[in-house]
Structure 1
Amino acid sequence: MATHPIPLTPENLLQVLQAAASNDQSILQLASKQLQSWETTPGYWSLLQDAYLDQSLEKNVRWMSIITLKYGVDRFWRKAATNAISKNERTRIRSRLLDSVNEPDNKLALQNAVIVGKVARNEYPLDWPDIFSRLLDIIRTSAPPPDQSQLLPNQQPSVLRLQRSLSLLLHVVKELCTGRIPRIRSNLQTASPELFRVIAGIYVQYVEHWKHGAENKSHSDEWVNERLHISLSCLKVLRRLLVSGFEFANRSDEIKQFWTITNEQWTSFINMINAEVPDLNKVLIFKHIVGLGKLYLDLSKGQPAAFALMPDVLTVLHNYWQVANNYGDSLANGSRAGLGKQSKKNGGVAGDKDDDKSSFLEKIALQGMLLYRNCIQMVFKPVQTFKYRHKEEKEENITATAFMKNQVLTLELATRFMELLVTKYFILRQDDLEAWEEDPETWAITWDDQTESWEYMIRPCAEKLFADLAMNFKKDLAQPIVNVFNNVATLDNHDVLLKDSVYNAVGLVPAILEPHLDFNIFLQNVLANEVQITQPDYRILRHRIPILIGQWVFVNIDVQHRSTIYQITQHLLNKSDPLNDLCVRITAAKSLKCSIDEWQFDINSFLPFVDDIFDQLMLLIDEVEETATKMSLVDVIGLIAERMSHNIAPYAHRVISILPPLWEATGEEHLFKQSILAILTKIVSAMKDSSLKYQEMVVNLIRFSVSPENGLQTFLLEDALELWDAAVTSTPADNAAPLLELVPLLIPCLESDTALTRRVLEVIEGYILLAPREMLNSYALTLFNIFGGMLGKGLKHDAAEVITDAMELMIRTASAVQGEEGMKALGQAMVSSGVARKLFEGVYTTWEAHQTTGPNKKYPEIDVQVLTAYFRVLSRVILGSLEVFEGLVGYISSLGVNEKRVEAWLMEEWFSHFGNIGNPRSRKLNALALTKLLELDQEWILVQMQDLMTVWTDVVQELVEENREHYLLQAQNKHGAEGFKHKCIDNVDKDILADFMKLKIF
């Protein structure tokens, strides 16, 4: 392709679109750049639509055109967008969006439907008021009437047109339903009644069509399949309209009639799943059942009162209870049959019909559990509202809540449901046992991850439902649960599946059962013995017991029983025990975190087991293969190191020794590297200067992590800074040389990453304390140059705090370590870097703003807290060297900022601002600095004596005794008592002088 500009013509556009579909990356990139260059050319987007609508073109060209157009609608359709599509071009595109209702290709039609939805969201109803009427016209003319003799003159029944128009309507409704602006939802609600009436009629009609054809074999499977697709599309539209298109769905007679029909259909659909129906159509029937389930779920969540007040809602809930109960039976039976068997290498293929039916039923049972959870939410955790708009709405909510509480969520139902969950859904399934057998490590990982997937997986959902029921019926159900537990949790009971299930239940709600269950006795008498039973099936309990302990340790396991926990963990980590497979050991290791990471952790009870536990954890890290597993185990070791503090020293070498190989093995996996940096940080922090033996490794890891060349700096920088800070803090001054070599890598971090500025400056402050002379001599000017770029207009107070804190430390250190020479060097750096100018400019612009009033009033460029930070830095300079301060004032005077003397406006603003300084430390610092200025014996400070005495009166009681005596002595040396009184005191207001004298300093 040529590199010179190509004019936009239909022919050129088609050629570029053809190139954009190429597999050659170089051609594709050139084509993409050319398409991008046309984005601001008038007519480009409508030409893309021309290409899409031309069915004579190749599919790949049409695909590129519609995908590119969708991108343009996303970015440039809104009127306020940069390079927005012109009004005329938007009108042309919009006018032809519905012309693709005869598009034969499903994928192309879907992309156009997405565009229609996005445009409608932006332009309905103002610029596209007739979209719904046009779509309904197409739908009406495409859907055949029940009797072909009733065809209207303009009616041309077409299954394809009907499918496409329903898809367009679905995406429009989808977009309007998700609109957060109330106006968008309100516009949809205006159109919803007619939309619902038409689409519901087509849905009912087509369901009857395909049901009759499927049951009587009167039509081909393809004919049935077409109509299944249409009714499914209708159901998707109706579900969204019912929930979002009506403010009070229960008040619509049409909706209630439709609701009754769907209840009857739900049962018939379930029956058809069991009938001889072709698999392709059976899948679509199942999707109808799921679609109805989504309707019930969405309404129960979005309009809970409306759901409760719908006709026959008890029947709906009972139907789902029945499916959940029946499916639970099949689960329990399968679990019993699979216990003790080896994995079936060729069993359970995806195409097995029984497996398909089982997955169908599982999805329905899952929806049932979610539906009951929504009912519990409705009664026990209702959405709070400040105000009901109508009295009727409030009454409906009260009626719905009472109905759910008295008719649905009864104690009897809660009891039956909890029994169902514990005895059937909590029991390990046959496929669980097979997966465990085949790959213990993967199974252990996925088992942990399931907890967060409760909306999509039935076991986690069952656990959530159990916890909800136990929480809200705890007065009635806590003791019965404990009774069942006491009957099952005995050493004589060898039903490991039931035990695992009951232990799971008890672990889900420890806080509720704690008043009724003495877990300490159970731990000592039962669990400690069960982990030692060597029957093969007891590996199931070895997996469950550490999880159970981890759940209860935060609630009620006495400190004196912690050693038992560590003994159990030690036993379960023992690789030589054949029952302790990878799954058991991984679970035991990860559950150990719970016992360590809680406030009652006692290091003395843990120390006797540390040696062996560390050894087993090291072996386990070497044995596992998955990166996620290694990371979780490294986290456990890191937590142990953190909680052991200085006690980690004897074991540190073993931990450190595994880190370099792990670091190398992880390659580009930055998450794992972050974990390694974190654990090393904990060890260095815990060992203090004893960690010097690992300094070389620490320095190398820091260097790697912060170097831009490796490509991982973005991911590793934050953790590397944590390690860096720990290393600098823990290193004695005599051993600072290797760390000082890293300072050149630290400076760019300060310049590039504002999000980590505070952490970088903390490391710099650590360096200043570690090696003050080296840092000040080599990097003071560099740092002040960076600070100068940060200070000024728009600086936020939190950023100002960290920057000025660092400057304060540098000034204090220079004064303490290098004396007057150090202060002079630092003063010169402040001048040459622009820091001095920025500080004084901040004060001056604030003072200048305070001189204005009325309509022309100015406002300070920096806020009060930033100004306080500036005054702290100036205070440090004054306390460090009056000569340097005078030099800075002289430099600012030479700039000719204002005809008024610098000292005059500086003192005026400083004393005026003093009342805004809230931090006692800062107040004392400023008071000391202002008082030290008296040593200059200059008129501009002596005339401020009244203000200065006000400052003294406020803070002098907080000053240390020696400082107070020092400044009084200076006054005597300069003037003598009488001279001081005559020159200064006589000019002070008597009331202020009286308040000051009460301090009894003189």
Structure 2
Amino acid sequence: MDLDIAATEENLVEALRRASSQDAAILKPAEEKLREWEIQPGFYSALLNIISTHNLDLNIRWMAVLYMKNGIDKYWRKTAPNAISEEEKILIKRGLISSFNEPVNQIATQRAVLVARIARIDCPKEWGDLLPSLLQTILSNDILIQHRSMLTLQHVIKSIASRRLTGDRRIFQDFTVGVYSFIVNLWNTFTDLFISNICQNESVELIISNLEKAVLILKILRNLTIHGLYRPHENRDCMAFLKVLLDKTKSALECRKQLKGKGIYVLELCEKYINHATKVLVSLLENHPFSFINLIHSSLEFTTYYLFTPEGIQYTYERFSIQCFNIIKGILHCNDYKPLKNTQSSKYNEMVQARDIKLNFFQPNILTEICRRLVTHYFILNQDELDMWDADPETFANDEIGDSWKYSLRPSMETVFVTMFHEFRDILAPVLLELVVETSDIVSSEDLPAILKKDAVYNAVALAAFDLYEEVDFDNWFIRTLSEELKIKHNNYRIIRRRVSVLMGKWAGIKLSPKLRPYMYECVINLLSCQEDMAVRITASSTMRYAIDDFEFDAEQFKDYLEASFNLLFQLLKEVQECETKMHILNVMTLIVERVGHTIQPHTDALIQYLPLIWKESEDHNMLRCAIVSTLVQLVKALGTVVPELTPFLIPIIMLGTDPKQSAIVYLLEDSLELWLTVLENSSGMTSELIQLFNNIPSLLDYSTEAFGLCMGICSVHTLLAPEVVMQTHGLQIMTLCSNMMADLKNEGIMMILRLVELYLRASPTLGPETVLPILPRIFEGVYEGEKYPMIMSMYITVLSRVLISNHNIFSNVLNMLASVHNESEEIVMSKILRVWLLKMPNVSQVEQRKVMGLALANILTIISRPILEMFGSIMIQVLEALNDVIKTDENGVVSDCLILNGDRSPSYFYEESDGLCETEHDQRKKQLIHVDPVHTIVLKEYLQSQIFTLKNTLPLDQYEQLLNLVDADTMSMLKEYITF
């Protein structure tokens, strides 16, 4: 260790020993000391010495590896603070590849990872001799050294292959071309050796030695093939490797049968080899589909032999079967094997070739056999699944609704069935319908094989439901057979009851007559009964979800079944134990609440009482908590008010999910903001708890732009709930934050801010202008500069107009600020703003905005200012246009301002109802705001008349007449229809 470091190597060994202790009193000081040393020169060289000292305690060496891995991540790059010196790096790299005789597998693997992490940064520019050294060492006659060098090479190749920069990829491709033949020869050698060892019944140790190396080389080949070759099919060595890969895999499968009884490890190692061989094919298909074209036929022959023939099935095991299904699915699903209509595509010929190979293989007889095998062999519930159903029905039911087709057998084969059925529907539909006919009779409760076959056929019909729309008369089948089977309560028939439930859920949104929906609801309610099997009940809850979440769902038709459904789901929610199941059922209940709205009110008391308990139990399950919050959102909406029983529960939840200091915010933020917004919209008045909650808003605006829209909505609802409180507490802070954010927001975000600014001005004409003052210079600047986006410009001028109507002093102060920034007079700034205003106002389409602008233009007429006097004629044209927009004549010939509240026009006349089923407290407050809005309380014609009279009385007569002469004759003529000059 370097002399600069504060500890000798012996001290470091002792510190590592203490750092591996379970006693916190010993552990903590040791960790602190190691943190202090980690930036000292020589620290990592000393760690490598400790790792390489084989007679040291394994725990100490293991801790040394961990600290070295962390140190490489933190200090290896040249730009890192306290970076490891170049001299020490050279020593470390030399030490890592000078010895490959590590006896402990775990340490050897970690050493390989260390080399790989450094290689990802340094190789090849800063470590040019790494790969040549590894390739040379692989040729060693020492079995251990050879294995460790292969292990290191595998990790290095994996690490370098993950680099995505174009230059790095090109270097890796050049390296691949140079070594590919060598690596393929190694793979051939060790594959043939382990196959020969097994056939000749050699010792297990020798088999393992060669098999481990074959697996490592196969992993290397996969990365070289997928990431190191730009077009694998253009590389002769690669195609030679791929052509023999399936043959070698067949041999390995035969060897696997002979390995049974020779120990679990060697059997698993052989399976690992087979898995990686098929993984090469899957990866090639996913990443280089055109390089896979020549392998389509042989891969399909290979997979269908092992999956669908009696001779082949005897060699299979679960992981291999999954990989085979994934290969078939990949070939069927690959878009590059479906020719485009555009025959000019550069890949068109290859696409046609791939399609033809695929279609030539999938002849009707093969498709028929595959379909029958899938349904009658693979879809049959096996004994392990039935045992799981008995032992753990929740896990069984949840596994069934999973979609991990790449990793689980049942989803993988079901995905292949659906993909194949969709592509070859005309051939396979008759086959499946024939199976339905074969199993149409109601079978004996004691005949389990017949029940399982019927279950498999029903499963297939459910999976292919969309493609069987025209072929299956589901109404008739449901009434005559399926509903009758639901009545059989024998334990064996739970299998059929569960599958019929799945069928009802699938077909509810495809082809079920509306008149049969009530009968389906009755059937589902029976399946949810407490006397029913647990897995059947969980499946029935999914069926209910499908039935409710359908375009043709009729809440009125469901009304008679609401209480029973909701109560049974609630009972199920209390009985299940798994968080995933609770979340699933809670989501179904939430959907019911959402779809039926206020109708749910009489049935929610028990759920309201239960939710705090489940919330407490779900402390370590954030996704369940998200589901609970979503339920609360719909409950509050359905109830139409925040009931007293919920208040003590709601506020702490919202506080937890919206506090940036709490870790739960990562999971709960969006749902909690939605709940907060809903609570506000349905609250009749402000409370101290809600005021305290609003303290979170400034930090939330700073926390995440993703939640910005909801935060703006909350600010708006809070403002209407208690305008003065909001503005006096956080108004200035929020406006300052919004002003700072505007430069980085897209147009949609800027519009949200401007709507909030306008709401402040509408909600409190007195406090509003002072509160929005921090953001006004940016808005005025937008008009001054001529904002290009029309909707934003419209809002800019609308805000400017409302400020002008409410408070001349604030308007003048902002003009003065702008004049100071641009080093111009206030008159020049006013002139520029007014010119843009008059130029852009004709582009404003909303009549309310045009009227408020017209009111503001009429308002400034009495400000004796040069820009206003000079542009008097243009101002009058725009005011006239606003008058034309709002003055309407009814059928009785009565002329009026169409935006004014009167006996015929209540606030509801001007208010667009919310999306909710019923009007909320917030909707009422928005309507009340209309009562004090100048747009709806000031008659523009009368206001203009008043301003003209004031102007006439203020100005000398000759100056007044000069102003009128600035108005063109046509405009003046039309104005005289409204007012008197």
TM-score of the alignment, normalized to the shorter chain, above 0.5 = yes
Residue type of the alignment partner of 1:298 = S
Residue pair 2:186, 2:217 contacting (<8 A) in 1 also: yes
Give how far 1:329 is off: 10
Please list, as runs of the form range in 1=range in 2, the aligned pairs for 1:851-930 lying within 5 A after superposition: 871-882=797-808, 885-886=811-812, 888-889=813-814, 892=817, 900-912=824-836, 920-921=845-846, 922=849, 924-930=851-857
One-letter amino acid matched to 1:666: S
Aligned AA for 1:136?
L
1:986 partnered with 2:930: no
Q: Secondary structure in 2 aligned to 1:679?
A: helix
Indicate if the aligned counterparts of 2:74 and 2:80 stay in contact, CA closer than 8 A: yes
1:720 corresponds to: 672
Q: Does 1:121 align with 2:120?
A: yes
User: 1:171 Cα deviation (Å)?
Assistant: 1.6
* Match in the other structure for 2:925: none
Aligned pair 1:52/2:51, yes or no? yes
1:405 aligns with 2:366: no
The superposition leaves residues 134-174 of structure 1 with CA deviations (integer Å, 9 ceiling, x where unpaired) of 2221122x1xxxxxxxxxxxxxx111111111112212221
Quote the offset at 1:591 in angstroms: 1.9
Q: C-alpha offsets along residues 871-923 of structure 1, whole Å, 9 cap, x if unaligned?
A: 5433222223445545x459859x96566433541441353266567663455
Which amino acid is 2:603 matched to?
A: Y
Correspondent of 1:587 among 539, 542, 546: 539
Q: 1:516 aligns to what SS in structure 2? A: coil
Q: How do 1:151-170 and structure 2 match up within 5 A?
A: 157-170=141-154
Task: Report the CA distance between 1:697 and its aligned residue.
Answer: 5.2
1:836 has 2:787 as partner: no
2:730 aligned partner: 782
Relative to 1, partners in 2 of residues 1:912 and 1:493: Cα closer, same or farther, differing over 3 Å?
farther
The residue type equivalent to 1:874 in the other structure is L
Q: Which residue does 1:334 correspond to in 2?
A: none
Q: 1:411 touches 1:473 (CA, 8 Å); kept in 2?
A: no
Gaps of 5+ in 2: 888-895, 898-938
1: CA distance between counterparts of 2:759 and 2:254? Answer: 79
Q: Residues 1001 and 46 from structure 1, CA distance in 2 versus in 1: closer, same or farther, beyond 3 angstroms? A: farther
Instruction: Spell out the pairing of 1:6-405 with structure 2 (5 A cutoff).
Output: 7=6, 10=9, 13-38=12-37, 40-55=39-54, 57-79=56-78, 81=80, 84-140=83-139, 142=140, 157-217=141-201, 219-275=202-258, 278-279=262-263, 280-310=265-295, 314-326=297-309, 361-378=317-334, 398-405=352-359
Aligned 8 A contact 2:732 2:774 in 1: no
Flag the 1:611–1:841 CA change in 2: closer, same or farther, 3 A. Answer: closer
Q: CA deviation at 1:43?
A: 4.7
- CA distance in 2 between counterparts of 1:9 and 1:940 reads 83
Q: Secondary structure at the match of 2:127?
A: coil
Q: Judging changes above 3 Å, is the alpha-carbon distance between structure 1 residues 746 and 841 closer, same or farther for their aligned structure 2 residues?
A: closer
Letter in 1 for 2:944: L
Give the Å deviation of 1:17. Answer: 3.8
The one-letter code of the counterpart of 1:321 is T
Q: Secondary structure at the match of 2:381?
A: coil
Deviates more, 1:521-530 or 1:712-721: 712-721
8 Å CA contact 1:875–1:925 kept in 2: the answer is yes
Give the Cα separation in 1 of the matches to 2:292 and 2:399: 35
Partner of 2:525: 570
Aligned pair 1:481/2:427, yes or no?
no
Give the drift of 1:691.
4.9
Q: Which AA in structure 1 matches 2:695?
A: I
SS at structure 2 position matched to 1:454: coil
Cα distance, 1:998 vs. partner?
Answer: 6.8
Task: Provide TM-score, normalisation by structure 1.
Answer: 0.82
CA contact (8 A) 1:324 1:368 kept: yes
Q: 1:704 to 1:974 in 2, by over 3 A?
A: same
The offset of 1:233, in angstroms, is 1.5
Contact residue 370 and residue 455 of structure 1 kept, 8 A:
yes
Contact 1:971–1:980 under 8 Å retained in 2: no
1:417 deviates by 1.3
- Number of equivalent positions: 909
Return closer, same or farther for 1:953/1:86 CA change in 2, 3 Å cut-off: farther
Name the structure 1 match of 2:911: none
Percent identity at matched positions? 25
1:227 and 1:9 map into 2 onto residues whose CA distance is 42
Is 1:517 the counterpart of 2:502? The answer is no
Letter matched to residue 652 of structure 1? T
Task: Report if aligned partners of 1:953, 1:996 keep a CA contact under 8 Å in 2.
Answer: no
Counterpart of 1:762 in structure 2 is 713
What CA distance in whole angstroms lies between the structure 1 residues aligned with 2:339 and 2:11? Answer: 57
Provide the C-alpha distance between the structure 2 equivalents of 1:32 and 1:719, rounded to a whole number of angstroms: 40
Separation of aligned partners in 2, 1:38 and 1:995:
85
Q: Which residue does 1:958 correspond to in 2?
A: 885
> Cα distance, 1:1001 vs. partner?
5.5
Number of the residue aligned with 1:536: 491
Distance in 1 between the 2:348 and 2:590 partners?
Answer: 54
TM-score, length-scaled by structure 2: 0.84
The reply on whether 1:673 has 2:625 as its aligned counterpart is: yes
The answer as to 2:550 corresponding to 1:626 is no
Q: Shift of the alpha carbon at 1:302? A: 2.7
Instruction: Tell me if the contact between 1:843 and 1:867 (Cα under 8 Å) persists in the aligned partners.
Output: no
Structure-2 change in CA distance of 1:967 and 1:531 (3 Å) = same
2:303–2:328 contact (8 Å) kept in structure 1 = no
Pair 1:162–1:786, CA change in 2 (3 A): same
1:796-811 aligned at under 5 Å gives the runs 796=745, 797-811=747-761
Q: 1:968 aligns with which of 944, 961, 971?
A: 944
Q: For the structure 1 residues 266 and 701, does the alpha-carbon distance in structure 2 shift closer, same or farther, using more than 3 Å as the test?
A: closer
Q: Is the 8 A contact 2:451 2:496 kept in 1?
A: yes
Indicate conservation of the 8 Å contact 2:65/2:111, yes or no. yes
Pairing 1:928-939 to 2, within 5 Å after superposition: 928-939=855-866
Pair 1:442-2:380 in alignment: no
Per-residue deviation at 1:584? 0.9
8 Å contact from structure 1 (residues 376, 409) kept in 2: no
CA drift of 1:196 comes to: 2.5
* 8 A contact 1:641–1:683 mirrored in 2: yes
Deviations 1:754-781 (A, max 9, x none): 43343234234323333x4xx4057524
CA distance 1:491–1:957, shift in 2 (3 Å): farther
Q: Is the partner of 2:138 in helix, strand or coil?
A: helix
Distance across 1 between alignment mates of 2:434 and 2:679:
55
Contact 1:546 1:587 in 2 (8 A): yes
Q: Which moved more, 1:479-488 or 1:466-475?
A: 479-488
Q: Tell me the amino acid that sits aligned with residue 399 of structure 1.
A: Q
What amino acid is the match of 1:944? M
**Contact 2:376–2:453 (8 Å) recurs in 1:** yes
Contact 2:701/2:737, CA 8 A, preserved across alignment: no
Name the stretch that deviates more: 434-443 or 938-947: 938-947
Q: Which moved more, 1:704-713 or 1:666-675?
A: 704-713
> By how many angstroms is 1:643 displaced?
0.8
* Aligned equivalents of 1:89, 1:65: Cα separation in 2: 17
8 Å contact from structure 2 (residues 462, 506) kept in 1 = yes
Q: What's the Cα RMSD here?
A: 3.7
CA distance in 1, matches of 2:834, 2:21: 69
Aligned to 1:151: none
Q: CA deviation at 1:743?
A: 1.0
Evaluate the alpha carbon distance shift between residue 523 and residue 968 of structure 1 in structure 2; reply closer, same or farther with a 3 A threshold. same
Partners of 2:590 and 2:655 lie apart in 1 by 21
